[in-house]
Structures are given as C-alpha cells and as structure tokens.
Structure 1
Amino acid sequence: MRPLDGIKVVDFSRVLAGPMATQVMAEYGAEVTKIERPGDGDESRVFEPVFDGGHSAYYAAFNRSKRSIAVDLKSEEGRQLAFDLAASADVLVENFLPGGMASMGLGYEVLREANPGLVYVSNTGFGQTGPYAKRKGYDTIFQALSGVIDLTGHPDGPPAKVGLPFADLTSGLWILIGALTGLLGRVRSGQGCHVDMAMMDAQVSLLSLPAARYFALGETPTRTGTEHLGRVPSSAFACKGGEWLFISASDQHWPLLCGALGLDGMADDPSLARNIDRVDRRAEVTQVLADAIAMRDRAELAPALRKVGVPAGEVNTVPEILNDPHTQARGMVATYEDPDRGATPGLRTPLRYSGYDDHRFEAPPKLGADTRRILAEELALDEATIAALYERGIVQ
C-alpha cells in the first residue's frame, strides 16, 4: 500500500510543471492517466537530452509510472472520451491557456456537474484573471518578470537565470500542493474545487526574503553572487586547487572558523565577534578569509572545518553529487526497466514514508500504450467501437 493508492488522476498537462506534479502523485500510488495527442504526444517526448536509442531523457524525468492514452481532443468523440475519464477522476491537472479546456467542453463548471468531488487544477502562466491572463510564458520568462533573474548573478556582472528550470520546478511543487490540499479539503467538505495556480504567482511568492527587505527597509535588493546579504561569512571561496568551498558561519562558528584558518587575530578581535559588525566590514573580512582559504586544499579544508563544527560544503558538479556516497546511500539515483533499452537511470522522488510500501519507479509510458485497455476496461467500450476509433484516428 502507498499513500495515494486509490486516487485517480487525469493529466492533460504537458512539458514540465504539470507532469512533474502528476509524476509525484503516480509514484506515491495514484493512478495517473496522461492524455496525449495522437501522433506526437507530449512535445517533450522529442526534447533533448536523449538516451541511446532516441528516448527523451527530458520526458522520462517527469512522466514515470503513468499510463498514456492518445486521444484527439479536436474531435467530438475524443473530447467525450476525455470527459468520461475526468468524470470518474479525483484530480485533473491541465495547463491550457484560460478558457482552453472550457472551449472543448472540459472546463471545471461542466465537469463539476458530472463529478462534484473533482479537484481541478489549472496551471497557467498568469492565472485565470488579471491583465496578463492570456499571455503565454516559459520558465525563463517567469524568472525574468518575477525578479528572480535580476537577483541572480554577481554584483559586477549581468543578471543570470537560475541553473535549473526554476519556475517550472517550483510551480510543479505548487501544483502538487494544490491537488493534495484540495483532496484533503474534500474529506471535510465532501466537495471538490477549482485550483487557479499561476506560475507567475508562484515565483512572486518565492521573493519572501527580498520582499521583506523591501517592505522593512525600502531597499531594492541587488545581485550578491554567492554572498548572503545578512550574514558574513556566507559565501563560496576558491581553494588552492581551483575548487570552490561554500562556508556559512554564524557567531558561534566564527572563532572556530578563524582558528581552523590560523586567523587568531580576527578570532580575538571583539569588533568582529558579532555578525552585524562583520556585515558592516564585509569587504575587509571576506578578503582576509579568501586569502587564507586560497592557500588550502579543499580536500583537506572541508573535512577539517566540519570536524570543528563549521558548516562547509563543497561546490559540487552534477556528476560529483550524483556519485556522492550519501546520495547513493539515500537511494536517490535508481534505475527503472525500460521495455526497449533495459535498465535506465533516473532520480527518485525524495520522500520516504514509514508504514507504506516503497514508492513506484516505473518506465514512462509509450505514447498510447494504455489506450485500448482504458477504453475497454474503464470506459466499457466494445471491440467494434474501439476498432472504429482507431481506424478514424480518434485514438492511438
């Protein structure tokens, strides 16, 4: 048994944010049916990077453990099939522009009549209301508009995007939160709901600390590189071999850090004992630390700092952290059996629940892999009707 066993999800979403959320639900037990268009399916099926053999690693990263049904939503028959699936679902996730689902007869108000308990999550760029509601957007557009790009990078350099699809990934988490809180609310109220999840709203909500500085101090936060506006030291420092080490020290760590670096004079200086004073003398303190750290090998310094209780972390490359012994021990890198290419690596969903079976970790579905079974077993269509749908290209 898994936490979401028995929950049925219909997934009309494509590319990243919505599929990420529904994959988490699938791996924790929900039955997720991904509704895709015949022919190409989710456009991310052909996105780079690809595994040997041509399967998209991008698609595989967000669509494991699901079922796929390929349905032509431009046809009346296809829209009816999708409607029938949604009419018996617990959760629906979609990422069409506002009004897109309603134009196909699949909007919340219509489906609510057939399925009052449905938790219907609409993931759009800018929400169902507001002057930007009809705008299209992508991850980096949301990063730019929300101020995230302006906050990212070094003070003397241009703005930079986050090294991950930050807006998509964080929006995926909010889609998941919306779906699960909607389900929890249904337990008490007996009713489903419509969740208006705007990716732009999600990004603005993440500005909590920069916004706090603006609200409290009236200042416009600026790029700080790896430094922390309110703490010194809290930054990445270059070590002797060119590797980088991130050190973050509060007042209780300060004398320990100075001792480990042989900076006894700074450790004994009462004018540097408090973080607020070190922040005022940021440039001076940071330079002295940088000079001392530059003389040390990271492989020696990092464990030495941790041994005395100073928080320090190597700035790892992606291969380094994926092959890190702790990552391996936690089982974060696992393999699923792809029917075409065999054992295929991927990143596991991170939560571990006591009292439940381990979460699923299954290959992403081939396009339309489950169409026939779903039509026969769940929609109770006879073989002649199913054959006619295939022949006319309504399903694949």
Structure 2
Amino acid sequence: MKIDKQHLLNYSILIPYLILSIIGLIMIYSTTSALQVQNEGNPFKLLLSQAGYWVISLVAIYIIYRMKLSFLRRTGLISVTLLIDGFLLVISHFFDAVNGAHGWIRLGPGGIIGLQPAEYLKLLIVWYLAHQFAKIQGEIRKYDYQALTKGQWIPNKLNDWRLVSLVFLGLVASLPDLGNAVIVALIIVVMVTASGIGYRWFSTALLGIVSASALLLGTIRVLGVEFVAKIPLFGYIARRFAAYFNPFENATESGWQLTNSYYAMSNGGWFGRGLGNSIEKNGYLVEAHTDFAFSIVIEELGFLGASLILALLFFLILRIIVVGIRAKNPFNAMMALGVAGMLLVQTFVNIGGISGLIPATGVTFPFISQGGNSLLIISIGIAFVLNIDANEKRELIQEEIERTMI
C-alpha cells in the first residue's frame, strides 16, 4: 500500500514557517520604505525583492518535499554541491567588499542577482556531515569519538570530514566573514554532538569554545584594538571589537550601530511605538533592515511583540528537534537536528550582537532581516525536515500495516 506524502505534511512546522515569513515581509517593508522614499526610490523595492525570493523558496520547498530521500543522500550530489559552493567562495574574493567582507557575488545588470556562498555553506555543512556520520553509525556506537577520528588526531586523507570542514571554514574566514565563520564552526560542533558520540564530548567542546572566546577577547583587550587593526584583512573586525568593549566611547564611529541599537530597544519599552513608527530606522541605525532588524522589531512592537516572534521561532525550532529525536534513520535524525541547530545558532548570534553580549558579527536574524539568500537557505532546510518527517511517518505506518496483516 502506497501512502502519498501530501497526507503526511507536518503543519506544526509549515504554519509557523509561513507566519514568520509573512511577519518578515511586513518588517522588511517597515524598515526599508522610509529611507527609500527619502532617497526618491520605490518604497516597495526591497519588499518585492524579498517576496520574490520567498516565492522561489516556496517552489523549492514543494520540489524538495516531493523528492526521494535516497536521491538527496547521494554522495555525488552532495560532493558536487559542496565543490560549487567552494568555487563560489573563492571567486567572491574578486568582487567588491560589502561592510569589509567579500561575501557577495553580484551578477546581471546593476548587480541585480546577488549570491552569498557563505550563507549556502550553513546548510551544506549540515547536509554533508549528516551524510558522513550516518555511514559510520555502527562504528560510533562501538568506538565513540574515535570512530570520527579513525585513530588519527591529524587528518591524513583529503576526504576526511575534519579537513573538508576546516577548508570551508577557512574560506569563509578569509573573506573575512567573522559572523558566518562563527556560525559554521558552531554548526559543526552541533553536528559532531548529534552524531551519536558520548555527551561528555559536548561538554568538553562547549568548555573549549567558551575558554577560547574568553582568551581571544582578553588578548584583544590587553593588546589593544589598534594592534589588531594592523593585522591584514581584519581591520573591520577590530572596529567591531572597539564597539563591543565600549560602544558609547566610540558612539560617533565604531560604536554607532550598537549605541543606536540600544536606543531602539529602549524606545520600544513593553508595547512599542507602533508598527512603522521607529525613529532609529530613519538614518540612525544604518543596518536597520539586515543585522539590526530585530532592534527595530523591539522598538516598533515592544518587548512583548518581540517576545511573541521569538516564541514562535523557538516553537518552530522545537518542532524540528522533535522530528530529529523521533527519526529512526541516522541521516534523518542528524539532518533535522542540524537544521534546528542552524536556526538556533543564527538567532543567538544575532541577538548577542545587537544586545552587546558578543561583538557584532553582521549576521541576519532568521526570517525578519532582509536577505533573500538567507530566507532561501532556511526554506530549503525546512523542506528537508518536512520531507524527512513525512518519510519517517510513512515508514512507521507501513510497518504497522504489515504487522496487522501478519
């Protein structure tokens, strides 16, 4: 008996995704229309661009949902996709830098088509590692972490997952794109943790990350931001550290963004100034529609409105985690947990940046920030999870039918 996938669609994931996407479109219009009018441009320009990407995303969700998981697990497909993204990361160095990083490839008249290969890598690394770790589940259960290292702490093969991950992480860091490099590194930690190894390794990795971060910040604090600024390629990162250490001291220069982010959140209070009534988006908070979009959400909708959006996002992430926990197939489980980890890491890195808990990283907030590439990658991740959930349900139903027929 064949069960059609369309009857197994997980609406507890699809509906929050659709609601968050629509809220994102509303906030993108709110954060961009005023400045577009001031510059005598089309107030709907960036909204239409994001809406176009959303339509493409919906088509991608439909196509990926209808695909067979066996096709999506092909080693050749994953390898070719990774190689293409690696090529794009290399050639992006030859395009103009945006905010100090060569993260964009602009094509077409006026650069109308924008590709962001570092954004694609977030999902690709989840896909690649889920595939790699799923193949050695028997070894992981038997040898724990040693199954991942093959007894070699230093990679000695070109196809070693550690070497591949480090190469791609290095390509992103060389742009230099600190924010996405941090996210990719944390996603790798999530995937290694979800691979089935002992939980003590997660505690060790977490302790190592916290210690390394504290050591880095302490070293920069002691040596001085001016010294770090002299290191090739990392001048813009030094400015962000200067803003992190004391934003109000550099309020007219490097601390401008973070200072105005504080003002925006303070203006919002509990209930906000009302949709469209932000002060900071009118030329004060320069990245109001991208990195600092959630600051404007707090200013316009208040702490309560922003909390509801966060609650909906965390509900979506939780439902994806549930799919991963319930999945019997190792690839399905790790893929779902990886997508959830990708969303969770990006959310916390963005909130940490706009609140001053960590240095600003230039990372967009899922769904809310203007960024077609980000929305497309999140949507493809959601499509993977919906496909995985439907297949797991179908296999479970077929097992029950076979059991009752015996």
Fold match, TM over 0.5? no
Q: Which has the higher contact order (CA 8 A, sep 6+)?
A: 2
Larger radius of gyration: 1
Greater strand share, 1 or 2? 1
TM-score (norm 1): 0.26
TM-score (norm 2): 0.26
